[in-house]
Structure formats: structure tokens, C-alpha cells
């Protein structure tokens, strides 16, 4: 099989990129957000947790956890968070970093994921209109709307963050939602698909490589579909400052792919590359960097 079935150059931006996404978001807006929120006893003394759901793409229910510091005054900055491949929204008490830092934290459950789910990359892979990630990015755009409408939140201080799959989603949302304070993408998946297919040694890109080995005649349609959601395409339309990071030994999302997104990024961008690190990128050090970044961006004037 050709190790680079989509070539080696980043995918071009489709001519109808803006109208494609405007239509997708408009379709979803036909459905009221219908936010449902219930307090959850998570056994935490200083963090409040809420089980949240809302209507996303095609009106489907999308689940999320909302976490906030229990003792809060005034409107909080909010972090909207997308997770890695298969993770969903995880457990209510997972990842308390952002709420412990004093922010509202809305972690969105990636539709259909949670547990050992696989194969999502291939859903609708030959049709942009039915692509799995078209729906997921619309879901997350809607999650930002939900966050901005929360009574406890300052709608002008919103950041989008994500790791791996969530990093690619964060870049996608950053291209479509105006007024974000920051976009943080750690080891972003869905980014520079041609290069990723040639270099990745583990992870979801191998699902697509196997598919193209079986269906080489689908390569052009696959490239077209991915071009709407690829992190490089998203980076070309960025408006919020971006902070990207990668591990130089990452075999799932090779660092070359994150570098391509940083090179294409249309707004101010910072790229941190961690020598010797794999898909965890900088791990704890990266998270410290993210906290510093959010503190700076949330305190800055809009």
C-alpha cells in the first residue's frame, strides 16, 4: 500500500468551507438548545458538579459535566473542553484542574464515545455532509453557546481546550466561534491528515490507513471530507490566540502534524514541543503551562 495515500501536503481548504459550516450550524439552530441541568452528589467538598445535556447536531442529546468552585463570586470564566478518542466525558470527578483553578468547566461528551469505542473516524468518511466529525464539531459549537448562557459565567471569557481528538475539535471550534479568549490544543488529532497517515505508528489514523488500503479508489472523497475538519484547515480560519503543544516522540499524532497547524494558524499562536514526550505531550508541565495561559488570557481585556 502507498504509505501516503493522500499525498504529503496539507489538504487544501474547500472553496465552500464557510458556507458548509454556516449551513451546518444553521441546521442545528433550528433546534432549541433545551439545556437540562441537574446537581450531582459527586462527594466533593469544594467543587459543585452538574449533569448537563443539550440539543446538538440534528437535535440529538449531548451530555456534559459542568464543574464549578462551590464558593464563587461574580461571573466565572469558562473552559469548554473536548476529550480524546473514545473517552466521552469520563467520570464526574475526573479532571478537576480547571474548576479548582476557579473556572467553570464544561466537559462535553463526544457523541457515541465512552469506554472502548472505535471506528468513529470512518463514519461518513466519504461524504462531508454525513461525516462523524461534522456533527461532533457542531455539537461543540453548541456547547460554547450553552456555556455562554449559564448564569454563573462571563460570556466574554470563554476558552476552548482539548487533548488529542479534543485538540482537533478545539481547533475546529476556534475557526467557527468568534470571541473566544484562547484555543488550547494538546497533541491535536484530525490534523494534517496526509502527513499523519504517512507517519502515525499507532492510534486511530491506522483505522483510516487500513480503510484506504481496502478502498484506494475512495482516496479523493476521503480527502474532500477530511478537508472540512482537518486541524490545518481550521487553523487557517483561527481568530482567537492559540496555544498548541506536542510530544516529539508522539506516534499517534506525530509532531509534524501539530507543527503544520501552528504554521497555518491565522491568529497569534504559540507552539511548545516536548523532547522525548509521547502522546501525553508535556503532561503535568503542559497543564501548568495551560493554567498560566488561561490566567493571562482571562485577565486580559477583550
- Which pLDDT does position 260 carry in this prediction? 98
Catalytic pick from 57, 279, 286, 289?
279
- Which pLDDT does position 112 carry in this prediction? 86
Catalytic: 164? yes
Quick: pLDDT tens for 120-177. 999 999 999 999 999 999 999 999 999 999 999 999 999 999 999 999 999 999 999 9
- 289's enclosing H/E stretch is helix 283-299
Q: What is the DSSP letter of 77?
A: E
- Which pLDDT does position 130 carry in this prediction? 97
Q: What parts of the chain have a pLDDT lower than 50?
A: none
- Which pLDDT does position 99 carry in this prediction? 98
What is the C-alpha separation between 256 and 219, in angstroms, rounded?
Answer: 22
Write down the architecture of domain 17-299 according to CATH: 3-Layer(aba) Sandwich (3.40)
Catalytic pick from 99, 131, 164, 227?
164
Report helix, strand or coil for 140.
helix
Sequence ranges of the domains in the chain: 17-299
Which of 121, 131, 182, 143 minimizes the C-alpha distance to 21? 131
Dihedral sign of CA atoms 292, 298, 301, 302 in order: positive
Catalytic pick from 95, 139, 230, 250?
250
Exposure string (b/e) for 123-159, b if CB count within 10 Å is 16 or more? ebbbebeebbbbbbbbbbbbbbbbbbebeebbeebbb
- Which pLDDT does position 1 carry in this prediction? 54
Catalytic: 299? no
Burial class for 236, CB neighbours closer than 10 Å (0-12, 13-18, 19+): middle
For the record, the C-alpha cell of 262 comes out as 501552528
Amino acid at each position: 500500500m502507498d504509505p501516503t495515500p493522500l499525498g504529503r501536503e496539507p489538504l487544501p481548504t474547500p472553496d465552500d468551507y464557510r458556507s458548509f459550516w454556516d449551513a451546518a450550524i444553521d441546521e442545528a439552530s433550528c433546534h432549541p438548545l433545551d439545556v437540562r441541568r441537574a446537581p450531582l452528589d459527586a462527594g466533593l467538598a469544594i467543587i459543585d458538579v452538574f449533569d448537563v445535556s443539550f440539543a446538538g447536531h440534528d437535535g440529538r442529546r449531548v451530555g456534559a459535566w459542568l464543574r464549578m468552585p462551590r464558593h464563587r463570586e461574580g461571573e466565572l470564566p469558562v473552559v469548554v473542553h473536548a476529550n480524546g478518542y473514545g473517552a466521552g466525558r469520563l467520570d464526574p470527578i475526573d479532571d478537576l484542574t480547571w474548576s479548582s483553578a476557579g473556572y467553570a468547566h464544561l466537559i462535553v461528551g463526544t457523541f457515541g464515545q465512552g469506554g472502548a469505542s472505535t471506528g468513529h473516524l470512518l463514519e461518513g468518511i466519504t461524504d462531508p455532509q454525513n461525516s462523524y466529525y461534522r456533527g461532533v464539531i457542531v455539537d461543540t459549537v453548541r456547547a460554547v453557546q450553552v456555556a455562554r448562557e449559564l448564569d454563573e459565567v462571563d460570556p466574554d471569557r470563554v476558552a476552548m481546550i482539548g487533548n488529542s481528538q479534543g485538540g482537533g475539535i478545539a481547533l475546529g471550534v476556534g475557526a467557527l466561534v468568534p470571541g473566544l479568549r484562547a484555543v488550547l490544543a494538546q497533541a491535536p488529532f484530525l490534523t494534517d491528515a496526509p502527513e499523519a497517515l504517512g507517519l502515525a505508528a499507532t492510534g486511530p489514523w491506522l483505522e483510516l490507513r487500513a480503510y484506504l488500503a481496502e478502498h484506494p479508489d475512495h482516496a479523493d472523497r476521503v480527502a474532500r471530507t477530511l478537508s472540512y475538519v482537518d486541524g490545518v484547515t481550521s487553523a487557517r480560519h483561527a481568530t482567537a490566540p492559540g496555544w498548541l503543544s506536542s510530544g516529539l516522540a508522539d506516534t499517534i499524532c506525530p509532531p509534524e502534524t501539530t507543527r503544520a497547524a501552528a504554521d497555518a494558524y491565522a491568529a497569534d499562536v504559540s507552539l511548545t514541543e516536548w523532547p522525548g514526550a509521547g502522546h501525553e505531550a508535556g503532561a503535568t508541565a503542559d497543564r501548568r503551562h495551560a493554567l498560566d495561559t488561561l490566567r493571562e488570557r482571562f485577565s486580559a481585556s477583550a
